[in-house]
Amino acid sequence: MPNAFIRKLNLFAPLSGPDTKLLEQICSKPLSINARQDLIQEGEAPDVVHLILDGFACRYKIVPEGTRSIMAYLLPGDMCDWHAFILREMDHSVATLSPCRVVEIPRAAVLEITDKYPAITRALWWIALVDEAVLREWIVNVSRRSATEAVTHLFCELLARLEAVGLRVENGFEFPVTQSELADTVGMSAVHANRVIQELRARKLIVLNPHGLQILDIEALKQLAGFRPNYLHLSIKGGREA
Amino acid sequence: MPNAFIRKLNLFAPLSGPDTKLLEQICSKPLSINARQDLIQEGEAPDVVHLILDGFACRYKIVPEGTRSIMAYLLPGDMCDWHAFILREMDHSVATLSPCRVVEIPRAAVLEITDKYPAITRALWWIALVDEAVLREWIVNVSRRSATEAVTHLFCELLARLEAVGLRVENGFEFPVTQSELADTVGMSAVHANRVIQELRARKLIVLNPHGLQILDIEALKQLAGFRPNYLHLSIKGGREA
DNA sequence: CGTTTGATTGACACGAGTCAACACCAGTGG
DNA sequence: CCACTGGTGTTGACTCGTGTCAATCAAACG
């Protein structure tokens, strides 16, 4: 069974034998990181690219008044700082949400990929563009959906994204995120996040506990959120050439 | 005086003579588009890339309940659908906000660039990553800043971005955006957007009319918004290689 | 000139934030 | 083995920022 990174890249572009071999070698020595550790902080210029093989992480910023905003979830197969390789300085921080297995890809390996492995390079850019599309949808989520819709939409998105890398279990997934963190991702208070959860439970739509989320009625949930998965660009195999 | 696109690319990577010549040729036949016209709609798979030479445009989505969310402003020098070239299908729409001069770059020209003009290609990816950083900041804006702060922060960002392409006039810029569109940008109602504007006027921070925005006290505005321009990545000349 | 679109204002309603208390663990150390 | 602790989840009461509705005004326009 290939790791999540290879599975994800294969979603977008079929990888050759040598491609896969290189990626396996790159991922061969993962680090184990505890939950709630910063992988990179705003202002740093990392000289490695971090890749999540296992666990949840997030991108976040702290605004001056002290509140936190989580702008993205990093799931197994996601890269943390591909952009910092080009933009140099991180404009936000990345932290683990659960215990993670993380690979640090050295600069030389990244240069080798972009030089000699065009299929992988194309898939990486594809992924960067999908990340951008997800950010746009999150703007819609926090700006134009009610609290209940926003939380629901997030759950629908995570189910789709985790399914794509083989991490959907039954009708749910592992979800090691506290309600406070959930609140910071949909831009509300922790108390209100809790009220939304309670409501979704009462409506028999979900079962949520510290370890995982079970979705009891997927269609109802999608309907409630107005979820349309087109922005994830998961259905198209093999891209045009860049 | 080079056009906004060439100015913008030069911010990130110094372009050679042939680079500049090619870009000038590509931009030589712009179209004139009226205000409030869709350039591309969600679901389309355009076979050209649109480039704004003059005027304001925006990315937007309509959510099922009928409200609109504007996720990005496209300023002179910005490309509308670079990603659709790779992801195929647009997951959002793009519309002009003011009369625009727009270039439609044919598929063949894009392929020629990515094949033979590495400096331009690198600059385009750089720009895509900065766009992503702007999206992240917009999530912070709508999710963790008050209405007044969010509007103020948007003004600070636009001043910085327009200054970068030479479109800052005095302490302000042309701003052909209605209050209703502004409201859809920061995720609030048009009525409340108006109240925020009134407040900023009363505090002698801005002068806003249908044609333009003048900022009376830039430092106070930045302070109020908690504006830090690092996410625009404007200060770094010449990128690392991708 | 009517017509239309956008800006402005006030009254009122409501969703969500805040504050505070309490419950429920899981871990820790005595 | 059990008190103690701190983090998380839960709940209620109250407040307040924004949304909604509706009327009016102003400016642009054919």
With a 7 Å cutoff on the CB, does A180 touch strand D?
A: yes
pLDDT for the residue B238: 44
B 169-188 residues, CB < 7 A, strand C: 178-180
Residues of chain A with Cβ-Cβ distance to B85 below 8 Å are 240, 242
Confidence category of residue B2, pLDDT binned at 50, 70, 90: confident
pLDDT for the residue A211: 83
Confidence category of residue A236, pLDDT binned at 50, 70, 90: low
Q: Considering Cα of A86, then A89, then A95, then A99, what sign does the dihedral take?
A: positive
Class of domain A134-232: mainly alpha
Place of tokens 């990816």: B125
Q: Does B192 touch chain A (CB under 8 A)?
A: no
Nearest by CB to residue A142, choosing from B111, B142, B241, is B142
Q: How far is CA B131 from the centre of its chain?
A: 8
With a 7 Å cutoff on the CB, does B236 touch strand D?
A: no
Q: What mean pLDDT comes out for the span A129-149? A: 98
B 129-148 residues, CB < 7 A, strand D: 146-148
CA of B168 to C1' of C19 (A): 45
pLDDT for B203 beyond 80: yes
Q: Does B140 touch chain A (CB under 8 A)?
A: yes
Find the closest chain B residue to A43 by CA distance: B230
pLDDT for the residue A237: 52
Give the closest residue to C6 (Cα–C1′): B178
Percent of chain A with pLDDT over 70: 97
Q: What angle do CA B26, B30, B36 make, to 5 degrees?
A: 135
Residue B230 DSSP label = G
Which residues lie below 8 Å from residue B1, measured CB to CB, with a gap of 6+? none
Domain with CATH 1.10.10.10 in chain B: 134-232
C-alpha span between A182 and A223 (Å, rounded)? 21
C-alpha span between B126 and B122 (Å, rounded)? 6
Which residues lie below 8 Å from residue B196, measured CB to CB, with a gap of 6+? B147, B148, B151, B188
C-alpha span between B231 and B133 (Å, rounded)? 6
Find the closest chain B residue to A233 by CA distance: B87
Q: What mean pLDDT comes out for the span B47-58? A: 96
Q: Does B143 touch chain A (CB under 8 A)?
A: yes
Cβ–Cβ under 8 Å, residues A232 and A157 = yes
pLDDT for the residue A138: 98
- Report the first-to-last Cα separation within chain B, whole angstroms: 29
Q: What mean pLDDT comes out for the span B83-95? A: 93
Confidence category of residue B241, pLDDT binned at 50, 70, 90: very low
pLDDT for the residue A7: 94
Q: What are phi and psi of B166, to 5 degrees?
A: 80, 25
Nearest by CB to residue B142, choosing from A133, A137, A143, is A143
Domain with CATH 2.60.120.10 in chain B: 4-130
Query: A residues 83-102 near B, CB within 8 Å?
Result: 83, 85-89, 91-92
Query: Residue A191, exposed/middle/buried by CB under 10 A (0-12, 13-18, 19+)?
Result: exposed
C-alpha span between B194 and B186 (Å, rounded)? 12
Nearest by CB to residue A142, choosing from B63, B187, B231, is B187
Q: What is the pTM (predicted TM-score) of this model?
A: 0.95
Place of tokens 């502004």: B182
Q: How many angstroms away from the CA of A79 is the closest CA of chain B?
A: 14
Least confident range from A119-123, A158-162, B184-188: namely A119-123
Task: Find which of A82, A144, A223 to mutate to test the B interface (most B CBs within 10 Å of its CB).
Answer: A144
pLDDT for the residue B242: 38
Class of domain B4-130: mainly beta
Confidence category of residue B90, pLDDT binned at 50, 70, 90: very high
Give the closest residue to D19 (Cα–C1′): B189
pLDDT for A238 beyond 50: no
Residues of chain B with Cβ-Cβ distance to A129 below 8 Å are 83, 86-87, 128
Give the tens place of pLDDT for each residue, A57-76: 999 999 988 899 999 999 99
Going by C-alpha positions, the residue among A223, A184, A149 that lies closest to residue A67 is: A184
Find the closest chain A residue to B188 by CA distance: A143
Nearest by CB to residue B86, choosing from A72, A143, A242, is A242
Nucleotides of D under 7 A from a protein CB: 7-13, 17-22, 28
Task: To the nearest 10°, report the CA torsion of B9, A93, A66, B181.
Answer: 40
Q: In what order do the strands lie in the sheet with A212-215?
A: A172-174, A212-215, A206-208
With a 7 Å cutoff on the CB, does A189 touch strand C?
A: yes
Find the closest chain B residue to A133 by CA distance: B91
Are A144 and B63 an interchain contact pair (Cβ–Cβ within 8 Å)? yes
Cβ–Cβ under 8 Å, residues A187 and A143 = no
Q: Does B128 touch chain A (CB under 8 A)?
A: yes
Nucleotides of C under 7 A from a protein CB: 5-11, 15-20
Other C-beta atoms closer than 10 Å to the C-beta of A45 total 13
Q: What mean pLDDT comes out for the span B5-20? A: 92
Confidence category of residue A241, pLDDT binned at 50, 70, 90: very low
Q: What mean pLDDT comes out for the span B4-13? A: 92
Find the closest chain B residue to A130 by CA distance: B87
